[in-house]
Structure 1
Amino acid sequence: MDQIKDNWFSESCEMWPGATFSFEVTKVLHTEKSKYQDVLVCDSKSLGKVLVLDGIIQCTEKDEFAYQEMISFLPLCCHKNPEKVLIVGGGDGGVAREVAKHPKVKQIVQVEIDDKVIEVSKKYLPFMAVGFDSPKLTLHVGDGFEFMKNHSNEFDIIITDSSDPVGPAVSLFQENYFALMKSALKPNGIVCSQAGTVWNDLELVSNTLNFCRNQFPKAAYAIASVPTYPSGQIGFVIGSLDGDVQFDVPQLVLSSADEDNMKLRYYNSDIHKAAFVLPTFVKKRLA
């Protein structure tokens, strides 16, 4: 709440010193401190409803679909038969909403550590929390790290929809986490994790990708445009146990009719290919 002054919220974080993103607040809908983090939901003049955790914007009604669709469909469409999917995090329900759309997905297991995020999202962010209503979904409240220790060789896809590497999400950006995901995958399984932006922390991106490369025979970094995230861009690290996979060649190519039926607003098969095309300075650093 102390980040709202004169009805303007300004995001601040040690990860991007000297810069901020601000939006005009029309109403504070909810604020509390959960067991793990500060939770704020507010309505805004131009972005719709906004979820903020520990002072950092997690999603806005205006552009959340770009992030949710890309972190879901990039790995899903790289896999030949993604029948069983694990989501770690994603307490707003957005990733579950998107994963459930894929025609080959039969079972979704989600593990979210903070039950307050789920509760608040169901009440104030139903456009994302609708994902929890899927009959494909089994939801667990708990630590994804601990969950995977007890589930080996079980999933085709693991998607880690985490906040930034501060607070409860720090452990999800370490190499032992990628090793744990590897052990929970079936043969040819794929992982995809939120991995930050090259414009604010290229070192973080490089380190996270290297952790993934150390565990998986094939790994890559992809980008998407999300205007309300720092620098207006977010990236994903994706890794596969299939060394022959071509990340920029989707196994499932969607038609315009498919996009309409799935209610996709950002992801399409051309965007999938383009997501792996990186600026020169990024290619050189990540090489």
Structure 2
Amino acid sequence: MNSIQNNWFTEKSALWEGQSFSMEVKEVLFHEKSDFQDVLVMDTKTYGRVLVLDGCIQCTEKDEFSYQEMMTFVPLTCHPNPKSVLIIGGGDGGVAREVVKYPTVEKVVQCEIDAKVVEVSKKFLPFIASGFESPKLTLNIGDGLDFVSKHKNEFDVIITDSSDPIGPAESLFGEKYYKMCQEALKPGGIICSQGENMWYHSKIIRTMLDFCKTMFPKVSYGYTCIPTYPGGQIGFLLCSKNPDTKFEEPLKELSEEDVENMNLRYYNASIHRAAFILPQFAKKELLN
């Protein structure tokens, strides 16, 4: 159970059993149950404004960019010419904000199941949600699994920015979803999905890697550092229909000027390469 007591919010979940994470709250800005989940926005002492869904922290003003940028620029820079991008989830708008920056991207389609998350993010997290204002983006409110099933051979890159595999996002971690994504991608297409944490979820990650290898010739797993996610890390699972894809080496290396012009605060070519260097225990549990 998650709660705010004595101006402290505490996050607990069965997905990281036996531990919790707390932050000091200055003010609760919004709290309401949507048709799908509990939605909370609060202003905190250290992390600024924070979006919480079903008691789990989704993004904070202080550290959200590390996740949004890596989920976006790792797959985009590994594709030779990404023009059409599908975002599944991502109702806070952060991934959309980053995708529309990429110069070759012409069309971004986003499917988010919960309209309330989009509405609340626009109101209380406008910088994160700024991608919704781009003319490149078309937003659809609905179930991601259903949406993907109706779009074949249409996208160069699919980014799955989901919450954890409980509640509304559970179906986005299954074999059926990845098969649909494989069919929705154009030849040479790439999918990048939120891939949980190697410290707590190695069995979930290994299962996903194993079934993805039956569908895609190239599959890899990397991670980024983010203080407010469990263990301070979150992973991303990458699959490509192109057997020559090397996720560890970007095809398009962004220069320092590119990084500055796109206002990137975490991603660069060096951190891209480093994201795939796994600690020994993770190599054994995930890759062997």
TM-score by length of 1: 0.99
Alignment-derived partner of residue 194 in structure 1:
194
Gaps of 5+ in 1: none
Name the SS for the 1:251 alignment partner: coil
Name the SS for the 2:14 alignment partner: coil
> How far 1:211 sits from its partner (Å)?
2.5
Question: 2:211 and 2:63 mapped to 1: Cα distance?
Answer: 29
Alignment-derived partner of residue 64 in structure 1:
64
Q: Count matched residues.
A: 287
> How far 1:231 sits from its partner (Å)?
0.1
Query: Is 1:268 aligned to residue 268 of structure 2?
Result: yes
Name the SS for the 1:244 alignment partner: coil
Question: Are 2:2 and 2:11, in contact at CA under 8 Å, matched by a contact in 1?
Answer: no
What is the identity, as a one-letter code, of the residue corresponding to 1:252? Answer: K
> How far 1:20 sits from its partner (Å)?
0.5
Question: 1:215 and 1:49 mapped to 2: Cα distance?
Answer: 40
Alignment-derived partner of residue 79 in structure 2:
79
Alignment-derived partner of residue 117 in structure 2:
117
Runs of 4+ in structure 1 off by over 4 angstroms are: none
Gaps of 5+ in 2: none
Query: Is 1:105 aligned to residue 105 of structure 2?
Result: yes
Could you give the per-residue CA deviations for residues 13-52 of structure 1, whole angstroms, max 9, x where no partner exists?
Answer: 0001110110000000000000000000000000000000
CA RMSD of aligned residues (A): 0.9
Question: Are 2:2 and 2:55, in contact at CA under 8 Å, matched by a contact in 1?
Answer: no
Alignment-derived partner of residue 183 in structure 2:
183
Alignment-derived partner of residue 7 in structure 1:
7
What is the identity, as a one-letter code, of the residue corresponding to 1:267? Answer: Y
What is the identity, as a one-letter code, of the residue corresponding to 2:170? Answer: V
Could you give the per-residue CA deviations for residues 51-78 of structure 1, whole angstroms, max 9, x where no partner exists?
Answer: 0000000001100000000001110011
Alignment-derived partner of residue 280 in structure 1:
280
Query: Is 1:209 aligned to residue 200 of structure 2?
Result: no
What is the identity, as a one-letter code, of the residue corresponding to 1:131? Answer: G
Name the SS for the 2:104 alignment partner: coil
Query: Is 1:127 aligned to residue 127 of structure 2?
Result: yes
Could you give the per-residue CA deviations for residues 218-272 of structure 1, whole angstroms, max 9, x where no partner exists?
Answer: 1000010001000000000000000111111101111111100000000001111
Question: Are 1:174 and 1:211, in contact at CA under 8 Å, matched by a contact in 2?
Answer: no
Question: 1:188 and 1:247 mapped to 2: Cα distance?
Answer: 13
Name the SS for the 1:26 alignment partner: strand
Question: 1:2 and 1:15 mapped to 2: Cα distance?
Answer: 13
Question: 1:79 and 1:11 mapped to 2: Cα distance?
Answer: 37
> How far 1:146 sits from its partner (Å)?
0.7
Question: 1:36 and 1:124 mapped to 2: Cα distance?
Answer: 19
Question: 1:240 and 1:2 mapped to 2: Cα distance?
Answer: 38
Alignment-derived partner of residue 169 in structure 1:
169
Alignment-derived partner of residue 240 in structure 1:
240
Question: 2:214 and 2:175 mapped to 1: Cα distance?
Answer: 8
What is the identity, as a one-letter code, of the residue corresponding to 1:235? Answer: G
Name the SS for the 1:223 alignment partner: strand
Task: Please identify, of 205-214 and 172-181, the stretch whose mean Cα deviation from structure 2 is larger.
Answer: 205-214
What is the identity, as a one-letter code, of the residue corresponding to 1:125? Answer: L
Question: 1:2 and 1:250 mapped to 2: Cα distance?
Answer: 40
Question: 2:182 and 2:22 mapped to 1: Cα distance?
Answer: 38
User: Identity across aligned pairs (percent)?
Assistant: 59
Question: Are 2:187 and 2:241, in contact at CA under 8 Å, matched by a contact in 1?
Answer: yes
Question: Are 2:218 and 2:239, in contact at CA under 8 Å, matched by a contact in 1?
Answer: yes
> How far 1:201 sits from its partner (Å)?
1.5
TM-score by length of 2: 0.98
Alignment-derived partner of residue 94 in structure 2:
94
